[in-house]
A and B are shown apart, each in its own frame.
Chain A
């Protein structure tokens, strides 16, 4: 830590009786945050990690027995759930990015004086509870709803069912419904960082691109896209990380064949008397897995050059 007295100053200018003084202000300012993180983040994580190698049950109590086999169970017994969590969240991230980019681009460059209003409209749905918004999708995708009717009349439902996206003549209770709900719920998290980074781009760079032989597409490809990469990475991370852990959408819009890790963890914790250790182990596996994926992504994307 650098303090005033540590700076190399000519000796004769320093008062002889002055002691090196520690500057406590940064530490004091950090204290509330550190305390919060310790109590609500660090301790719960350590508790989880510890629980993941315990054995026992709800009635007799759990003991720390370093039972690593919990991890074997947590991984091998729930293959489909890991697969669903990963595939649904990846799909959600990709679809969100594809939908969010044009929206953010339009608002940032064509929004003019409506920019703020348009961005507010993006956020407004979040004022409703997450649960209610997700349940609303049950109505949207219901068998007698417009979506199913339209898909049916276009004979698309047969195709999506053959692909395994939908089930029978229903859209509800299918992988497609789960992904739809997730995309809807996480879309603002993709739009916001994208908008922020697109909005910072000087529109004159587009003119410079046009002047230097770039068509509209090449301008986007060579200038706008590279400059919006921080937003792309931020947006996809903000979507992927909560999406991979989300289980509300799968629970409300899915079926028994679309269960994700979160549902199983909930099940182990709340409905089984000896589920804590394996549930904790699954949590740790998810956490480490997500961390590895995210770190690899950031490393591959080379953000340090962009941020």
Chain B
């Protein structure tokens, strides 16, 4: 189903940001950001607090003026338009429902301001879409957080904006409700077919819902791509650490042959796919996701052609049913994470000497000059 059926919208266009910069005094919140968000896509701006994602969103909505740069909606430049003249609506972080109006009037608000006379059907349809038609006469304070969130969504959606902006819309909900609303939001987006730009610090939320994610850091886009692409092929240590977890191992390149790069790390030989390397000379950082790694007690268990690191010692074992998480300490003191699926294999106790191994095609190589910890603390902070 397309937007034209549900909302009767006839035109739109891509949202394009060109060289967008926002400075507050000497602090640069958003730094020369250029981005095109295709019409009808579900786009997520992901980053830790203070990375400039909300500022970017506010510039699109018009609540913040860019210091430099332009914003286009299709062919139209909207950079200098007042917020109330932009075909863009926002779902605010704390919903910002009007406490003096009932739910019906909250949802009808935008239509009434634009002089729409008969709002009853549109409002009723919209309340049905968010499945809260029975609460039309209530006041916002009489609703639960999840219900308020849906009303905030309905209040914005009913105006058929060309772009719907969502500022941490699920941030105030508890985990279970958040999961439920993620699915709900995705359903609604598919149903109405509008462009959704979603700001979040929750990488799981971004990955669940978005078609495309832009990972932001220090006012810049660190990497842009589909959730799978970002996860499988991070291009920086920040993305590798922020989006999920990564084992990052400093390594030096020894040679390249037939698209396979040989590296040395922990005094041992490892391989990595040249196509998945950002750099194939000198110092690099070899990365592999914990769930791609397995442990064995003996070198002989490792399949041929796999990367293997011997000499590790299990320092922590957490059995969580579907999988077992190991923390393996290498002789150098560095720790590697391993998430092993519960396939019935023996569980290694702390203190066990193990071999850590993985398929070389699952590893990736990053520029060696970066901060290996980048994004790790940011993720913890965001999760807190």
A interface residue numbers (CB < 8 A to B): 202, 204-205, 207-215, 218, 222-223, 226-227, 306
Contact = CB atoms under 8 A, between A and B. Distances in A.
A211 B99 contact: no
Contacts of A211: 61, 63, 83-84, 88-90, 92, 156
Given A226-B100, A227-B99, A227-B100, A214 B84 contact: yes
B96 A202 contact: yes
A218 B83 CA distance: 13
A204 B110 contact: no
B242 interface: no
A205 B89 CA distance: 14
Given A205-B98, A207-B92, A227-B99, A213 B61 contact: no
Contact of A214 (B96, B99, B113): B113
Interface string B242-274: 000000000000000000000000000000000
Given A211-B63, A212-B109, A214-B113, A204 B96 contact: yes
A79 to B, nearest CB: 42
B82 interface: yes
Contacts of B82: 210, 215
B219 interface: no
Contact of B84 (A204, A205, A210): A210
Contacts of B61: 211
A29 to B, nearest CB: 31
A213 B100 contact: no
Contact of A218 (B63, B85, B96, B113): B113
B113 A208 contact: no
B114 interface: yes
Nearest to A228: B100
- Most chain A beta carbons < 10 A, residue from B63, B97, B156: B63
B337 interface: no
Nearest to A306: B100
A287 B162 CA distance: 60
A212 B89 contact: yes
A209 B99 CA distance: 12
Interface string B99-113: 110000000011001
Contacts of A215: 82, 84
Given A207-B63, A226-B100, A227-B100, A213 B94 contact: no
B220 interface: no
Given A204-B94, A207-B92, A212 B100 contact: no
Given A211-B88, A218-B84, 12 more contacts: A202-B94, A205-B99, A207-B90, A210-B62, A212-B110, A212-B113, A212-B155, A213-B113, A213-B159, A222-B109, A226-B100, A227-B100
Contacts of B109: 212, 222
A222 B155 CA distance: 16
Q: Summarize A's interface: helix, strand, loop or mixed.
A: helix
27 contacts: A202-B96, A204-B92, A204-B94, A205-B98, A207-B63, A207-B83, A207-B90, A207-B96, A208-B96, A210-B63, A210-B82, A211-B63, A211-B84, A211-B89, A211-B92, A211-B156, A212-B110, A212-B113, A212-B156, A212-B159, A213-B113, A215-B82, A218-B84, A222-B113, A226-B100, A227-B100, A306-B100
A96 B113 CA distance: 31
Nearest to A208: B96
A208 B153 CA distance: 12
A60 B133 CA distance: 77
Interface of B: 61-63, 82-85, 88-90, 92, 94, 96-100, 109-110, 113-114, 155-156, 159
A307 B62 CA distance: 33
Nearest to B114: A213
Contacts of A226: 100
A191 B173 CA distance: 38
A208 B90 CA distance: 8
A218 B98 CA distance: 14
Minimum-distance CB pairs A-B, first 4? A208-B96, A213-B113, A210-B83, A212-B110
B84 A213 contact: yes
Contacts of B113: 212-214, 218, 222
A215 B113 CA distance: 10
A233 to B, nearest CB: 14
A213 B100 CA distance: 18
B116 to A, nearest CB: 11
A212 B84 contact: yes
Nearest to B96: A208
Contacts of B89: 211-212
A268 B210 CA distance: 82
A223 B98 contact: yes
Contacts of A214: 84, 113
A217 B382 CA distance: 38
A202 B95 CA distance: 11
Contacts of B62: 210
A204 B99 CA distance: 12
Nearest to A218: B113
Nearest to B165: A211
Contacts of B88: 211
Contacts of A207: 63, 83, 90, 92, 96
A210 B100 CA distance: 17
A170 to B, nearest CB: 47
Contacts of A210: 62-63, 82-84
B206 to A, nearest CB: 23
B171 to A, nearest CB: 14
Contacts of B159: 212-213
- Most chain A beta carbons < 10 A, residue from B85, B94, B98: B98
A291 to B, nearest CB: 28
A220 B211 CA distance: 39
- Most chain B beta carbons < 10 A, residue from A205, A212, A223: A212
